[in-house]
Amino acid sequence: MTCSTGVPCNGHMCGVAVPSDLFTVFINRSGRTQRSEVIMKFSYVIAIVPPGAVDALERKLRSIGIGGMTLTKVKGFGEYKNFFASDLLSEHTKLEIFVEESHLEGLLNALLEAAGSDVPGAGIAAVMPVERFLHLRTGTEVLPAPSV
């Protein structure tokens, strides 16, 4: 949703009419009906995958509407140790993704489909709840729209 200034907005302070499905109705202590914003729930997904899986994973995530991710090259060991290296470390890519909880299962399925393997060292994923998500430029609490 966009307010009159063209900035993405969840309608909480800009006076824009917000679709009713973004609100829940409750009765306050005085017995009057009020509407309250539904708080969107987000999750923070961290996945460690082999570097070769990143391109396929990026295409899959774009196709399911994931609006962004952060990639970092990492080295480490866990279930699989690189016995051919002097320090036992293997190179992987760490993905960090914020996702609405309604899209979480689709994201995890995409990870399994694009990066999953029966080979040791295929990767891991962890899901953590996000208490609050905030754009520092606009102050809005919405995830970025998928880029084309």
Q: What is the mean pLDDT of residues 80-107?
A: 85
Domain residues of the chain, as ranges? 1-38, 42-130
The secondary structure of 21-53, three-state, reads HHEEEEECCCCCEEEEECCCCEEEEEEEECHHH
pLDDT > 90? residue 141 = no
Q: What is the pLDDT of residue 109?
A: 92
Q: What is the rounded distance in angstroms from the CA atom of residue 114 to the CA atom of residue 78?
A: 21
Task: Say which range, 30-34, 45-49, 96-100, 102-106, has the weakest mean pLDDT.
Answer: 30-34
Q: Kindly report the CATH number that applies to the domain delimited by 42-130.
A: 3.30.70.120
pLDDT > 80? residue 88 = no
Residues 6+ apart with CB under 8 A from 97: 44, 45, 47, 61, 66, 68, 69, 70, 107
